[in-house]
Amino acid sequence: MNILQQVPRNALVWMVICLFALVAPHAGRLPVWVLAVYVLAVIWRLQVHRGRWSFPGRAVKVALIVSSCAGIYASYGSFIGLEPTVALLLTAFAFKFIELSRRKDAYVLLFLGYFICITEFLFSQDLLITLYSLLNVTLITTALVALHQPGEHQFNRGTIRLASVMLLQALPLMVVLFFLFPRFGPLWTVPVKSHAGKTGMSDFMKPGDVASLSQSDEVAFRVKFDGKIPAKSELYWRGLVFSRLEQGTWSVLGYYDVPIKERRANEVPTQGEPLSYSIIMEPTQQNWLYGLHYAHSNTPGVMHTSDYRLFSPGPVQVEYMYRANTWNGPVVEAELSDWRRKIETKLPPAGNPKTRQLSKELRASATSDEAYIDLVLDKFNREPYVYTLRPGTLSGRDTIDRFMYQTRRGFCEHYASAFVFMMRAAGVPARVVAGYQGGETNPVNKTVIVHQFDAHAWAEVWIENKGWIRTDPTAAVSPLRVELGLEEAMVAEGSFLAANPLSPMRYRSIPLLNLIRLRYDALTYRWQSWVVGFNSHRQLDLLRSFFGEISARSFATAFIGSWALVLIPVAISLFRRRDTFPVSPADRHYRMFCDRVALLGLKRQPGEAPGQFALRAVAALPESSDQLWQITNLYNELAYEDANPPGERSAEVLQKFCRAVARFKPDRRRRPEEDRVII
Amino acid sequence: MVNSVTSIAGLRSIPDRLRGRFREWVNRRIPAAREITLDQRRIFIFPSRVGLFFGLCLLVMLIAAINFENNLSYGLTFWLATLFVVAVLHTYANLSGLTIRALRAQPAFPGQQSEFHLMIERSKQREHFALYLKWPDSSESLVNLVDEDRVVVQLHMAVDKRGWFSPGRLLLESTYPLGLLRCWTWIDLDLHALVYPRPLPSTDLPGLATGTPDGAAALVVGHDDFYGFRAYRKGDSLRQVHWKGVAKGQGVLTKHYTAYADRSVWLDWDLFPGAGTEQRLSHLCYWVLEFDGRREEYGLRLPNVVIQPSVGGKHRDRVLKELALYGKEGRKG
């Protein structure tokens, strides 16, 4: 085999490290047998290295490929989607390692490794994952360096140093490229995640759904307000509007459930300056976005539905950033169409007779719809209704009747659901709204962090001339929930994150832990807004704030300038002439002396002893003979008698020697004889 | 008609002419020298085939980043692209500052391998890895300069014709550290191997060389007289070792023959009448080796060259060199 194609053992070890480091973050998403393939691959290749086993033959390779394809199909049910594709890639990566015999194979393996780093980002762009990927890239690069160090027969930890240095030198260039490279939309559609679990609110709601969501301390989204943060009790993040009640389940009207002429949201007359904020959502694999009432977004790609929600055409697969404006108190949907009125007052034909009866009676006793709302809220407030995370199960028929008259224990969705039922039973257009309420203000960077346990459901009622008005029956039962949040509302019950004992949210009372948590969250926000959420709009803003006006010239200047700023010092550090050995002062002066003699055309030959050189020099420059011999003798004394312990004497000689060299200034006009001969 | 022929001939020779031009340009840029220190005039750098493949991979990554609108994928792609840029400097630095020195080339007979000795020395304390050396038809060598400051490299190459053999331009290349870029140089080390004539046996020395000034005879037939044994010395021919004695455990003794001074031989150009130049030289070469093996004195007489009879390795080399360079231009040290 060509000597260039050999794979040093050091490189092999680094590749094994890469193999496991790369598969580790994917491990949770992969079937267990893929991990077994990795262990098998490494054992097989190492046995080949030790000469025990042989490389797989063609038939074995085909069998491995076919069986792993079959395995992936069996595990995922298809080859379509991101997860099976990545699993296939990772399996191929392990197989490539088994048959790695030459340098060429190693290139394929390592470049595939870089690609696997990218696939990890398609699943998560989390800060920790990113840091881990930095390590992975360094490991792959180290293996690449080790591949080009022939004769390294032992594992060498030091190989990582050069790889890290090179990557660090490349890092600033990458940052420039990252912010300057134009961003454009996808060229074609790509496989999407097909197996990721959906998180957050779903598009239907049964009693108990929100309560179970409230057990999670995961972050739903983070909000940054341009101005002041509104009071917590005003932060109702609308996400879903449930207009349909069927068999005890509230659900959202689908796009095709709405008649064509009703599909566009009506114009909302807005006045004054809006409240502006940007939201970064964590991936949910669902389409809805959140905003305050009434929200409008100018971010391209954000759509508005006819029930005034924000909506993303594709599911939110990665951290997604958008901006929204909210106006206070506009009349939303002043005119209610017949279709809309019908849909928003519709109830199942039968069931819950007691509640229906009660509604009719209460409405009859009230003078207006608004007075009726107050009566219902007053009932919740006055009577012994309990706001609890442990409402017990309500199943079967007439659940609302049983809740209203028997259990009287419920979480927000019970109250919202019962309230809207009563409104509709009295002919008042109303609907359930689900989303989040409140949020934690991070004092570090003034963002509002909304967690899953802030999930909430409330109601909207349509009032003549006022449009849709938000009404929260939960606030009538437990004002604490709206003003302070779930944790305070559940203090007595002690049920806040009861199933989640390790959640950092439970240790907010320990100041240090809390500070660390908040700082890390602020870092995450910054990361998400600057790196993950960076897009063409942010790019334009950034470039404008940097250059004022964007021109090709300023672009080129920034590009070339920043690169030069990095590459020139790197080049200098690489090419700076340094002597192999530290030069002693005596040697330095002797070289100076030789250079001066060389100016006269008499060059010291490589390996020529100082004495020999002096002989030649004296022959050519007889009039400087004394000086030449003095310098040579002193140098010999310094250079060859250093076995004696250095003391007063050697320092004295050195001084004398240096002075002698300094005094030696031969007449340049006088060219020695030898020179002429050479010419 | 004539025109078209010349134009076709002109067309055909374009690659040749280009190659010739390139050779001239390289000759001008890197003139021959016994010792060459590599600097920016002498080092060429270009993406290697692996580097182009890497570029293709980066393109795929960029497309993935664009299609998934994934900023971290953009970041990684750019990081690897800029790593490539940084690698240009590092690959270049692996060759820069190296000094290549021609040490010597062993003389050889046609068809044999000559051994060329080179020394690579670094000028500053940095590690150099995977320096690949090769002449167009020679063996190859891969060396590192890690702990030592200089390393001697031996390359072997088959030689063919009598005279000075020039191995051509030495290729020194390296793709260290990442293999993405190939950095190389073509240097002419002014190193030449002496190629002796091909020894060609002749049954007998066919005539008597007469007319020598000192009257020495040239006819030599049969073997010398056996004189006695002496202890083996380094350098004695193994053919003369008294192997039977060795087998009997008498120690290593060398059979010693006497060669009389007046029986010294003149190997004369005129000994082979009617033969061509190369044939004569080949025959002479054969007899030189023959007499050298017998440790007999011999001298050489060529037109313009006379070497007095003597014996020993130095003498043999001198005689062989004369034979090798007979009628050749450009004698080199």
Q: What are the boundaries of each domain within chain A?
A: 3-168, 204-345+428-511, 585-678
Chain B hits for A181, CB-CB cut-off 8 Å, are: 74, 78
pLDDT of residue A1 exceeding 70, the answer is: no
Burial of B245 (0-12, 13-18, 19+ CB in 10 A): middle
Q: Where does the pLDDT of residue A448 fall: very low under 50, low under 70, confident under 90, or very high at 90 and above?
A: very high
Report the distance separating Cα B130 and Cα A3, nearest Å: 10
Residue A606: alpha-carbon gap to chain centroid: 60
Interface contact flag, A173 B86, Cβ < 8 Å: yes
DSSP type of residue A263: S
Whole-prediction pTM value?
0.77
Q: What average pLDDT does this structure show over A423-431?
A: 92
pLDDT tens per residue, range B262-295: 456 788 888 887 788 888 889 889 988 888 888 8
Residue A594: alpha-carbon gap to chain centroid: 62
pLDDT tens per residue, range B227-242: 677 777 777 777 777 8
Among A456, A521, A589, A594, which one carries the catalytic annotation? A456
What's the token pair of residue B28? 């001008």
pLDDT tens per residue, range A121-173: 988 888 899 999 999 999 999 999 999 998 888 888 888 999 999 999 999 99
Between residues A338 and B228, the one the model is more confident about = A338
* Residue A148 and residue B176 in contact, taking contact as beta carbons nearer than 8 Å: yes
pLDDT tens per residue, range B38-50: 887 889 999 999 9
pLDDT of residue A286 exceeding 90, the answer is: no
Report the distance separating Cα A302 and Cα A282, nearest Å: 16
Q: What average pLDDT does this structure show over A297-310?
A: 87
Chain A hits for B77, CB-CB cut-off 8 Å, are: 118
Q: What average pLDDT does this structure show over A92-106?
A: 92
Half-sphere exposure of residue A38: CA atoms within 13 angstroms, side-chain side: 23
pLDDT of residue B259 exceeding 70, the answer is: no
Q: What average pLDDT does this structure show over A27-45?
A: 92
In this prediction, residue A44 carries a pLDDT of 93
Query: Between B71, B93, B142, which is nearest A575 by CB?
Result: B93
Instruction: Classify B300 in phi/psi space as left (phi over 0), alpha (psi -120 to 50) or beta.
Output: beta
Interface contact flag, B83 A147, Cβ < 8 Å: no
Q: What average pLDDT does this structure show over A93-103?
A: 91
Between residues A581 and A238, the one the model is more confident about = A238
pLDDT tens per residue, range A460-510: 999 988 889 999 998 888 888 887 788 888 877 777 877 777 777 777 778
pLDDT tens per residue, range B86-138: 999 999 999 988 999 888 899 999 988 999 999 998 877 788 999 999 998 88
Kindly report the average pLDDT of chain B as a whole number.
Answer: 82
Decide if B85 touches A, using CB distance below 8 A: yes
Whether the CA torsion A11, A13, A19, A20 is positive or negative: it is negative
Q: Identify the CA nearest to A27 among candidates A139, A116, A99.
A: A116
Kindly report the average pLDDT of chain A as a whole number.
Answer: 85
Percent of chain A beyond pLDDT 70?
94
Q: Which range is most confident: A200-204, A661-665, B171-175?
A: B171-175
In this prediction, residue A41 carries a pLDDT of 93
Give alpha helix (H) positions in A600-647: 610-620, 625-640
Mapped onto helix, strand or coil, the DSSP state of residue A175 is helix
Give the H or E element holding residue A586. helix A585-599
Query: Between A103, A144, A178, which is nearest B78 by CB?
Result: A178
In this prediction, residue B60 carries a pLDDT of 94
In this prediction, residue B213 carries a pLDDT of 40
Query: Between B54, B68, B83, which is nearest A166 by CB?
Result: B83
pLDDT tens per residue, range A258-270: 888 888 777 788 8
Decide if B64 touches A, using CB distance below 8 A: yes
Residue A426: CB atoms within 10 A of its CB come to 22
pLDDT of residue A583 exceeding 90, the answer is: no
What's the token pair of residue A48? 């080949």
Q: Where does the pLDDT of residue A194 fall: very low under 50, low under 70, confident under 90, or very high at 90 and above?
A: low
Q: DSSP per residue over A294-357, as a string?
A: SEE--STT-EE-TTS-EE-SS---S-EEEEEEE-SS--B-SS--HHHHHHHT---SS--HHHHH
pLDDT of residue A567 exceeding 50, the answer is: yes
In this prediction, residue A92 carries a pLDDT of 93
Chain B hits for A535, CB-CB cut-off 8 Å, are: 69
Catalytic site includes residue A472? yes
pLDDT of residue B309 exceeding 80, the answer is: yes
Q: Where does the pLDDT of residue B6 fall: very low under 50, low under 70, confident under 90, or very high at 90 and above?
A: very low
**Which residues lie below 8 Å from residue A548, measured CB to CB, with a gap of 6+?**
none
Interface contact flag, A178 B75, Cβ < 8 Å: yes
What's the token pair of residue A142? 């180290």
Long-range contacts of A32-36 (CB under 8 A, 24+ apart): A33/A71, A33/A75, A34/A71, A34/A87, A34/A90, A34/A91, A34/A94
Chain B hits for A169, CB-CB cut-off 8 Å, are: 86
Rg (CA), chain B: 29
Whether the complex's predicted ipTM surpasses the cut of 0.90? no
In this prediction, residue B77 carries a pLDDT of 96
Query: Between A107, A115, A169, which is nearest B86 by CB?
Result: A169
For β-strands B128-134 and B113-121, DSSP reports them as: unpaired
Mapped onto helix, strand or coil, the DSSP state of residue B73 is helix
* Residue A150 and residue B31 in contact, taking contact as beta carbons nearer than 8 Å: no
Decide if B97 touches A, using CB distance below 8 A: yes
Chain A hits for B66, CB-CB cut-off 8 Å, are: 184-187
Catalytic site includes residue A412? yes
Q: What average pLDDT does this structure show over A528-539?
A: 82
* Residue A277 and residue A224 in contact, taking contact as beta carbons nearer than 8 Å: yes
Chain B hits for A158, CB-CB cut-off 8 Å, are: none
**Which residues lie below 8 Å from residue A248, measured CB to CB, with a gap of 6+?**
A206, A207, A399
4-63 of A, contacting B, C-beta below 8 A: 4
Q: Identify the CA nearest to B186 among candidates B302, B66, B44, B316.
A: B44
Q: What average pLDDT does this structure show over A629-651?
A: 72
In this prediction, residue A677 carries a pLDDT of 39
pLDDT of residue B14 exceeding 50, the answer is: yes
pLDDT of residue B330 exceeding 60, the answer is: no
Q: What average pLDDT does this structure show over A190-206?
A: 73
Interface contact flag, B89 A571, Cβ < 8 Å: yes
Interface contact flag, B71 A534, Cβ < 8 Å: yes
Q: What are phi and psi of B162, to 5 degrees?
A: -60, 145
pLDDT of residue A307 exceeding 90, the answer is: no
Q: What average pLDDT does this structure show over A97-119?
A: 93
Residue A516: CB atoms within 10 A of its CB come to 12
Decide if B140 touches A, using CB distance below 8 A: yes
569-588 of A, contacting B, C-beta below 8 A: 570-571, 574-575, 577-581
* Residue B217 and residue B262 in contact, taking contact as beta carbons nearer than 8 Å: yes
